[in-house]
Amino acid sequence: MSTNLRIVLAASEAVPYAKTGGLADVAGALPKALAKLGCDVSIIMPRYSNIKTGSLFIENLSVPFAYKTKNCSIWYEKQGDVPIYFVDIPEYFWRDSLYGHRDDAERFAYFSRAVLEFYRQLGQPIDVIHCNDWMTGLLPVYLRTNYTHDGFFAHTATILTIHNLAFHGMFGLDAVTYFGLGSYLMYGEKGLEFSNVASSLKGGILYSDAITTVSKRYAEEIQTPEYGFKMDSLLRQRRYSLIGILNGVDVEEWNPVIDKHIAANYSANDLSGKEICKRELLKRFGLPVDVKRPLIGVISRMTDQKGFDLIMKIMNRILETNASFVLLGSGSDSYERYFQALRDSRPDRVGVYFGFNNSLAHQIEAGCDIFLMPSSYEPCGLNQMYSLIYGTVPIVRATGGLDDTVINFDRVRMEGNGFKFYDYKAEQLLERIYEALIAYNEPEIWRRIILNGMTEDFSWDVSAKKYLDVYHTVKHHVGN
């Protein structure tokens, strides 16, 4: 299968230019991995006011929008082998935050349309436009309606990746025509109406040639009412075009062999540095430097999604064992108060740090023995993958990407890389912690679990190949 497809990745954010979540990591890393596989890939995103680099590429690009043509300019620079284009229109994107504005749907509808106009002007036929979340949800809608008779896009397919199903990109139904879409797109089977307003995400789900989300398990879960954010029936309708592809890890940033944030480097072949990391971490948190005692870590935004209520319910039970506990968390006052009080009452066994601290996140991944991630839902999750790479055994709830990446350890086959539980129940989490602590006291078994995790490949190379398969499939569907 030839790989020299021309791919455009359209996103509202991409590392290193703008980031509010995992979408930016994917938009920054996936194109580089695709370029390595031989794709001709470019990224296009808005030019926010913080983006000062690049050079002017097109001065006045006219984009039909809101009953008229509205001009933007296009800026350009290269990230390694990957060209990146920026849509510059100050009235929409020179703001103090990426999202949260009254006219968000309009801003990104414009962006979506500008992407199509720009590539048409560039004049190199595109095989696949890869859209991301609600912000580019209307792009496939424009393509399959306003541009149906445009020969330039006759062989262009689209895919939509859902990173966050919670945001639907809502706007008033009256804006459908304002955005330059036909009024027939308001209602009906192919309409954008969703709970009495219009949804950009719904547009993307209906009109893209394939939909992906960030893990296999999550692709199944979002088709159920429990995880579907009311989009489940729509996603069930499209289930044959919906697939899960796990996000990769930036293995230049998260790799104990070369990590600059940690006290000593180590690898699967020589784990001795890990004990040095543990020693330093215990010191860092003012805990007794007793390296034989198991050390359990958590790094997380402190939100309900991450399972803090479960951890709190069994915290005393955890401290009855001989384990110590460290937390790096940011977010919620009530959780913060609880864990601060816990630290105050058990300073010999509990360490806490509230706030965002990337170096400390690396040090915890390297220095702990066990990592907890009992999320209620988790589309992909990164920390459990970092834990596996750093030889820190994860205990997770079997949901989304956690279920895809963590395999229960099987003592008979000596297979598996961690421990997971199924129902969102504190007693099940505790059961797994007990099981892990038993294994921790059996050095040969523990070493096996650690090595099973450390020898897996979580790099973007693996995920990029799967995206490439999807691109070929949709390309085949629209015809060559």
Dist CA 204 CA 133 (whole Å): 8
Q: How far is the CB of 112 from ligand ADP (least distance, A)?
A: 24
Per CB under 6 A, the segment of 277-285, 344-352, 375-383, 452-460 that binds ligand ADP is 375-383
By beta-carbon proximity to ligand ADP, the closer residue of 24 and 263 is 24
Angstrom CA distances, 271 to 199, 275, 435, stand at 51, 8, 23
Per CB under 6 A, the segment of 60-68, 70-78, 135-143, 297-305 that binds ligand ADP is 297-305
Cα R_g (the chain), whole angstroms: 24
Structure tokens at 447: 């070493």
Q: How far is the CB of 302 from ligand ADP (least distance, A)?
A: 8
Q: How far is the CB of 413 from ligand ADP (least distance, A)?
A: 28
3-state SS, one letter per residue, for 209-253: CEEEECCHHHHHHCCCCCCCCCCHHHHHHCHHHEEECCCCECCCC
**Residue of 358, 414, 442, 457 that binds ligand ADP (CB under 6 A):** 358
By beta-carbon proximity to ligand ADP, the closer residue of 223 and 383 is 383
Residues 209-268 that bind ligand ADP (CB under 6 A): none
Q: How far is the CB of 301 from ligand ADP (least distance, A)?
A: 5
By beta-carbon proximity to ligand ADP, the closer residue of 16 and 64 is 16
Q: Residues 220, 224, 230, CA angle at the centre, nearest 5°? A: 120
Q: How many residues belong to the chain?
A: 480
Dist CA 182 CA 247 (whole Å): 36
By beta-carbon proximity to ligand ADP, the closer residue of 358 and 455 is 358
Angstrom CA distances, 147 to 117, 141, 144, 434, stand at 10, 9, 6, 59
By beta-carbon proximity to ligand ADP, the closer residue of 171 and 390 is 390
The bridge status of strand 324-330 relative to strand 393-397 is unpaired
The bridge status of strand 128-132 relative to strand 82-88 is unpaired
Rule CB under 6 A: say whether 299 interacts with ligand ADP. yes
**Residue of 35, 63, 382, 395 that binds ligand ADP (CB under 6 A):** 382
Place of tokens 């806490």: 352
By beta-carbon proximity to ligand ADP, the closer residue of 62 and 358 is 358
Residues 41-70 that bind ligand ADP (CB under 6 A): none
Place of tokens 């995790």: 453
Per CB under 6 A, the segment of 86-94, 100-108, 332-340, 381-389 that binds ligand ADP is 381-389
- Please list, in sequence order, all residues whose beta carbon lies within 8 angstroms of the beta carbon of residue 208, skipping any fewer than 6 positions away: 131, 140, 158, 159, 160, 241
Place of tokens 């920054």: 28
Per CB under 6 A, the segment of 27-35, 61-69, 230-238, 351-359 that binds ligand ADP is 351-359
Question: What strands lie across the sheet with 370-373, from one edge to the other?
Answer: 350-354, 324-330, 295-301, 370-373, 393-397, 419-421
Residues 69-128 that bind ligand ADP (CB under 6 A): none
**8 Å CB contact between 428 and 314:** no
**Residue of 39, 245, 361, 389 that binds ligand ADP (CB under 6 A):** 361
Rule CB under 6 A: say whether 22 interacts with ligand ADP. yes
Q: How far is the CB of 382 from ligand ADP (least distance, A)?
A: 4
Rule CB under 6 A: say whether 383 interacts with ligand ADP. yes
**8 Å CB contact between 38 and 49:** no
**Residue of 145, 255, 321, 357 that binds ligand ADP (CB under 6 A):** 357
Dist CA 469 CA 37 (whole Å): 12
Per CB under 6 A, the segment of 26-34, 66-74, 236-244, 350-358 that binds ligand ADP is 350-358
Q: How far is the CB of 166 from ligand ADP (least distance, A)?
A: 11
**8 Å CB contact between 160 and 204:** yes
**Residue of 294, 381, 416, 418 that binds ligand ADP (CB under 6 A):** 381
x-marked contacts with ligand ADP along 301-340 as a string, rule CB under 6 A: x--------------------------xxx----------
User: Alpha helices of 227-322 — where are they, by DSSP H?
Assistant: 232-237, 272-284, 308-320
The footprint of ligand ADP on this chain (CB under 6 A) covers a number of residues equal to: 16
Q: How far is the CB of 250 from ligand ADP (least distance, A)?
A: 9
Q: How far is the CB of 454 from ligand ADP (least distance, A)?
A: 18
Q: Which residues would be at the binding site for ligand ADP (CB under 6 A)?
A: 21-22, 299-301, 328-330, 356-358, 361, 380-383
